[in-house]
Protein backbone atom coordinates (compact mmCIF):
# COMPACT_ATOMS: atom_id res chain seq x y z
CA UNK A 1 0.00 0.00 0.00
CA UNK A 2 2.82 2.39 0.93
CA UNK A 3 4.60 1.47 -2.29
CA UNK A 4 1.47 2.23 -4.31
CA UNK A 5 1.03 5.60 -2.56
CA UNK A 6 4.65 6.40 -3.27
CA UNK A 7 4.18 5.67 -6.97
CA UNK A 8 1.03 7.81 -7.09
CA UNK A 9 2.78 10.69 -5.31
CA UNK A 10 5.75 10.40 -7.67
CA UNK A 11 3.43 10.51 -10.69
CA UNK A 12 1.62 13.53 -9.23
CA UNK A 13 4.94 15.36 -8.78
CA UNK A 14 5.95 14.53 -12.36
CA UNK A 15 2.61 15.83 -13.66
CA UNK A 16 3.08 19.06 -11.69
CA UNK A 17 6.60 19.46 -13.03
CA UNK A 18 5.48 18.83 -16.59
CA UNK A 19 2.61 21.26 -16.12
CA UNK A 20 4.97 23.88 -14.76
CA UNK A 21 7.36 23.33 -17.65
CA UNK A 22 4.48 23.63 -20.09
CA UNK A 23 3.34 26.86 -18.49
CA UNK A 24 6.82 28.33 -18.51
CA UNK A 25 7.24 27.26 -22.11
CA UNK A 26 4.03 29.04 -23.12
CA UNK A 27 5.09 32.13 -21.23
CA UNK A 28 8.54 32.12 -22.79
CA UNK A 29 7.04 31.53 -26.19
CA UNK A 30 4.66 34.43 -25.72
CA UNK A 31 7.51 36.62 -24.52
CA UNK A 32 9.64 35.61 -27.49
CA UNK A 33 6.74 36.34 -29.81
CA UNK A 34 6.35 39.75 -28.25
CA UNK A 35 10.05 40.42 -28.64
CA UNK A 36 9.88 39.38 -32.29
CA UNK A 37 7.26 42.03 -33.00
CA UNK A 38 9.65 44.83 -32.10
CA UNK A 39 12.63 42.96 -33.57
CA UNK A 40 10.82 42.62 -36.91
CA UNK A 41 10.20 46.38 -37.00
CA UNK A 42 13.82 47.11 -36.14
CA UNK A 43 15.13 44.67 -38.74
CA UNK A 44 12.97 46.18 -41.47
CA UNK A 45 13.64 49.69 -40.23
CA UNK A 46 10.01 50.51 -40.95
CA UNK A 47 6.81 51.15 -39.00
CA UNK A 48 3.69 50.24 -40.99
CA UNK A 49 0.72 52.42 -40.04
CA UNK A 50 -2.94 52.20 -41.00
CA UNK A 51 -4.94 55.41 -41.44
CA UNK A 52 -7.87 56.67 -43.51
CA UNK A 53 -6.48 59.57 -45.52
CA UNK A 54 -10.00 61.04 -45.55
CA UNK A 55 -10.44 62.48 -42.05
CA UNK A 56 -9.59 66.16 -41.81
CA UNK A 57 -7.66 67.19 -39.73
CA UNK A 58 -6.36 63.85 -38.45
CA UNK A 59 -5.40 62.12 -41.71
CA UNK A 60 -5.99 63.57 -45.17
CA UNK A 61 -4.56 64.61 -48.54
CA UNK A 62 -4.53 68.40 -49.06
CA UNK A 63 -6.16 69.61 -52.28
CA UNK A 64 -3.88 68.99 -55.24
CA UNK A 65 -1.40 66.94 -53.21
CA UNK A 66 -0.63 63.24 -53.00
CA UNK A 67 1.29 63.73 -49.73
CA UNK A 68 -0.60 62.39 -46.72
CA UNK A 69 -0.68 64.66 -43.68
CA UNK A 70 -2.78 65.50 -40.61
CA UNK A 71 -2.32 65.58 -36.87
CA UNK A 72 -2.26 61.81 -36.33
CA UNK A 73 -0.11 61.31 -39.42
CA UNK A 74 2.51 63.84 -38.31
CA UNK A 75 2.49 62.58 -34.71
CA UNK A 76 3.30 59.08 -35.97
CA UNK A 77 5.92 60.42 -38.38
CA UNK A 78 7.64 62.15 -35.48
CA UNK A 79 7.46 59.01 -33.32
CA UNK A 80 9.05 56.98 -36.13
CA UNK A 81 11.76 59.61 -36.58
CA UNK A 82 12.64 59.46 -32.89
CA UNK A 83 12.76 55.66 -33.05
CA UNK A 84 15.05 55.87 -36.10
CA UNK A 85 12.42 54.22 -38.31
CA UNK A 86 10.87 54.95 -41.67
CA UNK A 87 7.09 55.00 -41.77
CA UNK A 88 4.80 53.47 -44.39
CA UNK A 89 1.12 54.46 -44.39
CA UNK A 90 -1.63 52.17 -45.66
CA UNK A 91 -5.06 53.77 -46.13
CA UNK A 92 -8.31 51.96 -45.46
CA UNK A 93 -11.59 52.30 -43.64
CA UNK A 94 -11.74 51.92 -39.86
CA UNK A 95 -12.88 48.28 -39.75
CA UNK A 96 -10.06 47.20 -42.05
CA UNK A 97 -7.56 49.09 -39.91
CA UNK A 98 -8.54 47.12 -36.81
CA UNK A 99 -8.52 43.81 -38.69
CA UNK A 100 -5.09 44.65 -40.11
CA UNK A 101 -3.69 45.30 -36.63
CA UNK A 102 -5.06 41.95 -35.47
CA UNK A 103 -3.62 39.95 -38.35
CA UNK A 104 -0.29 41.78 -38.41
CA UNK A 105 -0.60 43.47 -41.83
CA UNK A 106 0.06 46.78 -40.07
CA UNK A 107 1.88 47.56 -36.84
CA UNK A 108 -0.21 50.52 -35.72
CA UNK A 109 -3.46 52.31 -36.60
CA UNK A 110 -3.65 56.09 -36.12
CA UNK A 111 -6.83 57.87 -37.14
CA UNK A 112 -8.36 59.93 -34.32
CA UNK A 113 -9.10 56.63 -32.54
CA UNK A 114 -10.90 56.82 -29.21
CA UNK A 115 -9.47 54.82 -26.32
CA UNK A 116 -12.31 52.75 -24.82
CA UNK A 117 -12.53 49.91 -22.31
CA UNK A 118 -14.19 47.73 -24.94
CA UNK A 119 -11.31 48.17 -27.38
CA UNK A 120 -8.77 47.60 -24.61
CA UNK A 121 -10.08 44.04 -24.35
CA UNK A 122 -8.69 43.31 -27.82
CA UNK A 123 -5.98 45.90 -28.40
CA UNK A 124 -3.29 47.96 -26.72
CA UNK A 125 -3.11 51.75 -27.04
CA UNK A 126 -0.33 54.27 -26.97
CA UNK A 127 -0.50 57.00 -24.38
CA UNK A 128 -3.17 59.55 -25.38
CA UNK A 129 -1.99 62.36 -27.64
CA UNK A 130 -5.38 64.00 -28.13
CA UNK A 131 -8.16 64.96 -25.71
CA UNK A 132 -11.59 66.05 -26.82
CA UNK A 133 -15.30 65.48 -26.29
CA UNK A 134 -18.36 64.53 -28.31
CA UNK A 135 -20.57 66.98 -30.17
CA UNK A 136 -23.35 66.78 -32.76
CA UNK A 137 -23.72 68.43 -36.17
CA UNK A 138 -27.33 69.22 -37.15
CA UNK A 139 -29.11 71.47 -39.64
CA UNK A 140 -28.85 75.12 -38.73
CA UNK A 141 -32.43 76.22 -39.45
CA UNK A 142 -34.26 73.69 -37.26
CA UNK A 143 -31.55 71.78 -35.32
CA UNK A 144 -32.79 68.77 -37.32
CA UNK A 145 -35.76 68.63 -34.93
CA UNK A 146 -33.48 67.60 -32.07
CA UNK A 147 -34.13 69.44 -28.81
CA UNK A 148 -33.37 66.58 -26.41
CA UNK A 149 -31.41 63.35 -26.70
CA UNK A 150 -34.66 61.39 -26.83
CA UNK A 151 -35.43 63.22 -30.10
CA UNK A 152 -32.72 61.15 -31.80
CA UNK A 153 -35.09 58.19 -31.96
CA UNK A 154 -35.90 57.61 -35.61
CA UNK A 155 -33.37 60.18 -36.86
CA UNK A 156 -30.69 59.25 -39.40
CA UNK A 157 -27.10 59.65 -38.23
CA UNK A 158 -24.19 59.62 -40.67
CA UNK A 159 -21.24 57.56 -39.48
CA UNK A 160 -18.76 54.80 -40.16
CA UNK A 161 -19.55 51.28 -39.01
CA UNK A 162 -18.10 50.16 -35.66
CA UNK A 163 -16.92 53.58 -34.50
CA UNK A 164 -17.77 54.57 -30.97
CA UNK A 165 -19.72 57.61 -32.20
CA UNK A 166 -21.95 55.39 -34.34
CA UNK A 167 -22.57 53.20 -31.31
CA UNK A 168 -23.65 56.28 -29.32
CA UNK A 169 -26.06 57.22 -32.11
CA UNK A 170 -27.53 53.70 -32.04
CA UNK A 171 -27.75 53.81 -28.24
CA UNK A 172 -29.85 56.97 -28.56
CA UNK A 173 -32.19 55.30 -31.04
CA UNK A 174 -30.93 56.80 -34.29
CA UNK A 175 -30.56 54.82 -37.49
CA UNK A 176 -26.90 54.90 -38.53
CA UNK A 177 -26.31 55.53 -42.23
CA UNK A 178 -22.87 54.03 -42.80
CA UNK A 179 -20.17 55.25 -45.18
CA UNK A 180 -17.00 53.46 -46.22
CA UNK A 181 -14.02 55.78 -45.74
CA UNK A 182 -15.87 58.79 -47.15
CA UNK A 183 -14.47 62.33 -47.00
CA UNK A 184 -15.89 64.97 -44.65
CA UNK A 185 -17.84 66.81 -47.34
CA UNK A 186 -19.93 63.71 -48.11
CA UNK A 187 -21.11 63.42 -44.50
CA UNK A 188 -21.77 67.14 -44.15
CA UNK A 189 -23.59 67.53 -47.47
CA UNK A 190 -25.98 64.75 -46.55
CA UNK A 191 -27.02 66.55 -43.35
CA UNK A 192 -27.39 69.76 -45.35
CA UNK A 193 -29.64 68.16 -47.99
CA UNK A 194 -31.66 66.09 -45.51
CA UNK A 195 -30.43 62.62 -46.47
CA UNK A 196 -29.28 62.36 -42.86
CA UNK A 197 -30.17 64.44 -39.81
CA UNK A 198 -27.02 64.52 -37.71
CA UNK A 199 -23.43 63.47 -37.23
CA UNK A 200 -22.07 62.56 -33.79
CA UNK A 201 -18.32 62.97 -33.67
CA UNK A 202 -15.31 64.66 -32.12
CA UNK A 203 -15.80 68.38 -31.36
CA UNK A 204 -12.51 69.59 -32.84
CA UNK A 205 -13.00 67.64 -36.07
CA UNK A 206 -16.52 68.99 -36.40
CA UNK A 207 -15.46 72.58 -35.74
CA UNK A 208 -12.86 72.42 -38.51
CA UNK A 209 -15.31 70.73 -40.87
CA UNK A 210 -17.79 73.57 -40.43
CA UNK A 211 -15.08 76.13 -41.19
CA UNK A 212 -14.18 74.23 -44.37
CA UNK A 213 -17.77 74.19 -45.66
CA UNK A 214 -19.39 77.46 -44.55
CA UNK A 215 -22.11 77.35 -47.24
CA UNK A 216 -23.77 74.23 -45.83
CA UNK A 217 -26.85 74.75 -43.65
CA UNK A 218 -25.28 73.00 -40.65
CA UNK A 219 -23.98 73.80 -37.17
CA UNK A 220 -22.83 72.14 -33.95
CA UNK A 221 -25.83 71.65 -31.68
CA UNK A 222 -25.50 74.22 -28.88
CA UNK A 223 -27.04 72.06 -26.13
CA UNK A 224 -25.05 68.83 -26.32
CA UNK A 225 -21.48 68.53 -25.11
CA UNK A 226 -20.64 65.18 -23.52
CA UNK A 227 -18.38 62.13 -23.22
CA UNK A 228 -14.81 63.29 -22.73
CA UNK A 229 -12.52 61.48 -25.14
CA UNK A 230 -8.93 60.30 -25.04
CA UNK A 231 -7.40 59.30 -28.35
CA UNK A 232 -4.22 57.48 -29.29
CA UNK A 233 -2.66 54.97 -31.66
CA UNK A 234 -3.93 51.40 -31.52
CA UNK A 235 -1.67 48.34 -31.66
CA UNK A 236 -1.58 44.65 -30.86
CA UNK A 237 -1.49 43.48 -27.25
CA UNK A 238 1.36 41.22 -28.39
CA UNK A 239 3.62 44.23 -28.99
CA UNK A 240 4.51 45.55 -25.52
CA UNK A 241 7.98 46.73 -26.56
CA UNK A 242 6.50 48.73 -29.45
CA UNK A 243 4.06 50.35 -27.04
CA UNK A 244 6.88 51.11 -24.61
CA UNK A 245 8.97 52.73 -27.34
CA UNK A 246 6.04 54.75 -28.71
CA UNK A 247 5.04 55.96 -25.24
CA UNK A 248 8.61 57.04 -24.53
CA UNK A 249 8.69 59.07 -27.75
CA UNK A 250 5.28 60.61 -26.97
CA UNK A 251 6.45 61.61 -23.48
CA UNK A 252 9.45 63.35 -25.02
CA UNK A 253 7.22 65.09 -27.58
CA UNK A 254 4.91 66.31 -24.85
CA UNK A 255 7.81 67.58 -22.75
CA UNK A 256 9.59 69.44 -25.56
CA UNK A 257 6.39 70.99 -26.94
CA UNK A 258 6.26 69.05 -30.22
CA UNK A 259 2.74 67.71 -29.57
CA UNK A 260 1.42 71.19 -28.76
CA UNK A 261 3.04 72.61 -31.89
CA UNK A 262 1.53 69.92 -34.14
CA UNK A 263 -1.87 70.35 -32.52
CA UNK A 264 -1.88 74.09 -33.02
CA UNK A 265 -0.87 73.61 -36.65
CA UNK A 266 -3.76 71.29 -37.47
CA UNK A 267 -6.46 72.41 -35.02
CA UNK A 268 -6.53 76.14 -35.62
CA UNK A 269 -4.33 77.09 -32.68
CA UNK A 270 -6.04 74.77 -30.17
CA UNK A 271 -3.84 72.49 -28.06
CA UNK A 272 -5.67 69.16 -28.11
CA UNK A 273 -2.65 67.41 -26.58
CA UNK A 274 -3.49 68.79 -23.13
CA UNK A 275 -6.11 67.19 -20.90
CA UNK A 276 -8.95 69.69 -20.30
CA UNK A 277 -9.80 70.91 -16.81
CA UNK A 278 -13.56 70.89 -17.43
CA UNK A 279 -15.48 67.77 -16.43
CA UNK A 280 -18.23 66.85 -18.88
CA UNK A 281 -21.18 64.47 -18.34
CA UNK A 282 -21.41 61.13 -20.10
CA UNK A 283 -24.24 60.47 -22.51
CA UNK A 284 -25.85 58.24 -19.86
CA UNK A 285 -25.72 61.06 -17.32
CA UNK A 286 -27.34 63.44 -19.83
CA UNK A 287 -30.11 60.93 -20.45
CA UNK A 288 -30.66 60.60 -16.70
CA UNK A 289 -30.84 64.37 -16.35
CA UNK A 290 -33.43 64.57 -19.12
CA UNK A 291 -35.46 61.82 -17.47
CA UNK A 292 -35.53 63.75 -14.18
CA UNK A 293 -36.83 66.97 -15.74
pLDDT at residue number 63: 92
Q: What DSSP line would sit under 58-121, residue for residue?
A: TEE--TT----BSHHHHHHHHHHHHTT-EEEEEE--HHHHHHHHHHTS-SEE-SS-B--HHHHT
Per-residue b/e over 54-83, b at no fewer than 16 CB within 10 Å?
bbbbbbbbeeeeeebbbbbbbbbbbbbebb
Report domain 131-228's class. alpha beta
Domain-wise residue ranges, the chain: 40-129+232-266, 131-228
Task: Return the pLDDT at 37.
Answer: 76
- Nearest C-alpha neighbor of 179 from the set 90, 54, 67, 91: 54
Instruction: Report pLDDT for 35.
Output: 52
**pLDDT value at residue 278:** 82
Please name which of 94, 132, 86 lies closest in space to residue 110, comparing C-alpha atoms. Answer: 94
Rounded Cα gap, residues 216 and 188, in angstroms: 8
Regions in the chain scoring below 70 on pLDDT: 1-35, 293
Report how far residue 112's alpha carbon sits from residue 278's, in angstroms, rounded to the nearest whole number: 21
Does residue 159 sit in helix, strand or coil?
Answer: strand
Strands 156-159, 175-178: pairing is parallel
Predicted pLDDT at 180? 85
Please state which CATH class domain 40-129+232-266 belongs to: alpha beta
pLDDT, position 1: 44
Each residue's pLDDT tens digit, 231-251: 999 999 999 999 999 999 999
Same fold, 40-129+232-266 and 131-228: yes
Q: What are the pLDDT digits (tens) for 33-83?
A: 455 779 899 999 999 999 999 999 999 999 999 999 999 999 999 999 999
Handedness of CA 72, 75, 87, 233 (dihedral sign): negative
The SS3 assignment for 134 reads: strand
Global confidence as pTM:
0.82
pLDDT at residue 14, as a whole number:
38
Amino acid sequence: MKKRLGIICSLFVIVLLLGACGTNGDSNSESAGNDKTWEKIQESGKLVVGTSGTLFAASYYPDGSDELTGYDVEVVREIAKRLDLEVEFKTSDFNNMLASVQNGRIDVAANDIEITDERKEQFAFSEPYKYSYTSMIVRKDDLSGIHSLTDLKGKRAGGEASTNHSKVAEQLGAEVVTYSNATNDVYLRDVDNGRTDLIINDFYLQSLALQAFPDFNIMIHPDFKFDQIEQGAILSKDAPELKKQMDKALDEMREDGTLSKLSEEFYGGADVSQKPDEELPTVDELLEQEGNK
